[in-house]
Amino acid sequence: MVTVAAAPLPSKRRPGDGSASPAPGQRPRQPKRTKRERNMGEGSTDEVLRYDIQSLLSSSSSLPDSSLANDLPEPFSEIQVDIVDVSSTGDGLGLRSPDERHVYVVPFTVPGDKANIRVIRHFPHDHHSVADLVAVATPSPLRDDSRIRCRYFARCGGCQFQMLDYAQQLRLKRRVLVKAYRNFANLPTDLVPDVAETIPSPLQYGYRTKLTPHFDGPPSSASRRQPKRRDQPGPSFEACPDIGFMLKGRRSVLDIEDCPIATDVVRRGMTRERERMRRDFSQYRRGATILLRESTRRCPNDGPDTAPTNDPDTDTYAVHVQGDGFVDVKTCETDSKATSTEYVGDHIFTNPAGSFFQNNNAILPVFTSYIRDRILPLPPPVSSSDLQQYYLIDAYSGSGLFTITLASLFAHSTGIDVAADSIASARRNAALNGLAPDRCRFIAADAAHLFREVDYPPDRTVVVLDPPRKGCDADFLAQLARFAPRRVLYVSCNVHTQARDVGSLVRGHPGGAAYRLKSLVGFDFFPQTGHVEGVAILDRHDGDDKDHLDGDGSKKDGVDSNGDDQQKPT
């Protein structure tokens, strides 16, 4: 039996846990819907889980029975379940018996596990309960706990899949994409191409170039209801606080000394910052987040920059990586306003250390090469005479990753981002990479107003989208459809909102173009976790007919490539 260190129990006084029994002669009272349920957003983790639960329950001839709410186990009791599926959230889905119509969501489990769990909270409306894993009574053939490299696994909420073979992780992530387009694209299945095999990360551990461990503030000895005077100092720490990441399913910090998915220099930086906190904890009066960001200085072999600096911190914690004719000297930056430097192939990018940049540098050359090879709407092979006859719009451009790595293929490129600081970084990066303003420019503006700023011919324009997790808003998608670029390449860290937006483009907008979804693939930016980065390529549909859609553009009933019925959650 594989045992798991149990997390501290939350309070038993939870709203909506379905544990109250009705008085004799009274109908069972339906629990109130929680704020979480009322605010469930499209493409949110909660909605994704709801789809997966309904799909699991609909695979049986029996339907969920809300009257079963009163037969559920008491909160904080222990039961045994069989794990029969994995949600796109990365958590296992278990049943007490094959004919039960209630699902238990259990982290750190895989299909085939027989798991002892502690029930934490019921959601009767959604036919599921959340639980903690207590022990794996009988391991699945998919599970091999000797693969686990982190002693905090099954407590820290960061990783879900360390017990799985990497090839199995990639298969699960492909399935996440398949389900995302089935559930959120609202398209007939024949308009969604087969999802390609997930492209692996060159590194499965030691890949994260940024970590942000944190600690909570000191406990207050005074009542929270008692107002604090302005001149009254806050409570201080009596000992060094726990520093790390969130305990899975709890609002408390798990003390973590090391994280094996981080790069070597970030792990060294974590050790250094923990040592500093042990010395300086008494200076803090509140919680804080610690930035750990890898920065690279590329130096010629035997150059003066590779020699010791006489700075004990730098010399002790720096990592030297030998390249082809150069040495990369890697350090860990902790000042969010300092400049960090990264190389993607031969391209150099500088950013404020606290700003966003992709956290898996190892996969970026593979990722950007894939996009370069497919960005032009031309059949291969592409000749040199074909290059620089098209224009690029990079929406949500950040510090210029796509604009800069793709610029040599286009006559002119425009990057746009709402954050002025990101645009300033992008302009510096363009200059560092030898790109003059007559080849590319960057504009600080809301993406919704992008098409007012460009006069590219739509027939020769490609648009790259890389929005935040919430995806694109409806106004932007309508503007994009009216502009009607020849090709759209959509990159997303949330494949569910990506599927929603892609479906909107394929169905079309009044007065605008409709698109055909050409290809779908996932990239594994975050091995050992349930996350997958999606890349969708769409070409403008220039035909007059729209027989591929119902008259109102709505989804037809169908079966996806995995043979699962399509259903909306109720």
Which region among 221-225, 404-408, 431-435 has the lowest average model confidence (pLDDT)? Answer: 221-225
> Exposed/middle/buried for 478, CB within 10 Å: 0-12, 13-18, 19+?
middle
Query: Residue 548 pLDDT more than 80?
Result: no
Q: How confident is the model at residue 544 (pLDDT cuts 50, 70, 90)?
A: low
- 552 lies in some domain: no
Give the CA count within 13 Å in the CB-facing half-sphere of 468.
Answer: 9
Residue 301 is predicted with a pLDDT of 86
Co-location of 198 and 297 in the same domain = no
Where residue 89 sits, what CATH number does that domain have?
2.40.50.140
Which CATH number does the domain housing residue 487 bear?
3.40.50.150
Residues 156, 240, 299, 493: which is the catalytic one? Answer: 493
Residue 40 belongs to a domain = yes
Residues 197, 259, single domain; the answer is no
pLDDT at 55 over 50: yes
User: What's the pLDDT score for residue 13?
Assistant: 42
**What pLDDT does residue 67 have?**
52
Could you list the beta-strand ranges (E) of 7-77: none
Q: What single-letter amino acid sits at 171?
A: R
Q: Which tokens sit at 507?
A: 């169905």
pLDDT at 378: 85
332: annotated active-site residue: no
Instruction: List the beta bridge partners of residue 544.
Output: none
Average pLDDT estimate for 284-302: 93
The reply to whether 466 sits in an annotated binding site is yes
Q: Which domain holds residue 461?
A: 178-203+360-376+386-541
Whether residue 183 is found in the same domain as residue 215 = no
Percent of the chain whose predicted confidence (pLDDT) is above 70: 81
Supply the pLDDT for residue 459.
96
Task: Report the chain's mean pLDDT, rounded to a whole number.
Answer: 86
- In the numeric block, which tokens belong to residue 427? 């302009």
The distance of Cα 154 from the centroid of its chain, to the nearest Å, equals 19
Are residues 194 and 322 located together in one domain of the fold?
no
pLDDT at 220 over 60: yes
In a domain, 553, yes or no: no
Q: Of 138-152, 232-246, 346-360, 430-444, which range is least confident?
A: 232-246
**Residue 35 — very low, low, confident or very high, per pLDDT cuts 50/70/90?**
very low
Question: Tokens 């909605």 sit at which residue?
Answer: 47
Is 555 within the bounds of a domain?
no
Residue 480 lies in a domain: yes
Tell whether 405 and 529 lie within a shared domain: yes
Query: At 257, is the pLDDT very low, low, confident or very high (cuts 50, 70, 90)?
Result: very high
pLDDT at 446: 78
Cα–Cα distance, 25 to 221 (Å, whole number): 47
Lowest-confidence pick of 122-126, 386-390, 391-395, 547-551: 547-551
More confident call, 233 vs 261: 261
Contact criterion met (CB below 8 Å) for 477 and 505: yes
207 annotated as belonging to a binding site for a ligand: no
| 3-class SS of residue 81 | strand
**Candidate from 146-160, 212-226, 242-256, 552-566 with smallest mean pLDDT:** 552-566
Residues 392 and 531 in one domain: yes
Give me 90's structure tokens.
Answer: 């990365």
Query: Binning pLDDT at 50, 70 and 90, where does residue 20 land?
Result: very low
What is the distance of C-alpha 119 from the center of its chain? Answer: 27
Are 193 and 240 in the same domain? Answer: no
Same domain, 129 and 54: yes
Per-residue pLDDT tens digits for 503-534: 999 999 999 999 999 999 999 999 999 999 99
Mean pLDDT across 196-225: 87
Q: What is the pLDDT of residue 40?
A: 41
> Does residue 160 have a known ligand-binding role?
no
On whether both 479 and 344 belong to a single domain, the answer is: no
- The answer to whether residue 549 sits within a structural domain is no
- State how far the Cα of 425 lies from the Cα of 409, in Å rounded to an integer: 22
At residue 536, φ and ψ (nearest 5 deg) are -120, 135
**Banded model confidence at residue 558, pLDDT cuts 50, 70, 90:** very low
Q: What is the dihedral of CA 101, 154, 45, 475, to 10 degrees?
A: -160
The average pLDDT across 93-122 equals 96
pLDDT at 222: 44
Distance (Å, whole) CA 260 – CA 330: 17
Mean per-residue pLDDT, 549-558: 44
31 and 105 fall within a common domain: yes
Q: Rounded to an integer, what distance in angstroms lies between the CA atom of residue 132 and that of residue 328?
A: 43
Residues 15 and 133 in one domain: yes
Judge contact between 21 and 62, C-beta under 8 A. Answer: no
Helix, strand, coil % over all residues of the chain, rounded to 5: 25, 25, 50
The 3-class secondary structure across 147-199, one letter per residue, is HCCCCCCCCECCCCCCCCCHHHHHHHHHHHHHHHHHHHCCCCHHHCCCCCCCE
pLDDT level of residue 71 (50, 70, 90 thresholds): confident
Q: Do both 97 and 194 map to the same domain?
A: no
**Residue 504 belongs to some domain of the structure:** yes
pTM of the model: 0.87
pLDDT of residue 565: 41
The number of domains in the chain is: 3
Kindly state whether residue 165 falls inside one of the protein's structural domains: no
Q: How confident is the model at residue 30 (pLDDT cuts 50, 70, 90)?
A: very low
- Lowest mean pLDDT: which of 53-62, 134-143, 333-342? 53-62
Read off the pLDDT of each residue in 111-137 and give the average, rounded to a whole number.
96
Average pLDDT for residues 81-96, to the nearest whole number? 98
Residue 62, pLDDT score: 52
* pLDDT tens column, 302-349: 766 655 555 555 657 899 999 989 999 999 999 999 999 999 999 999
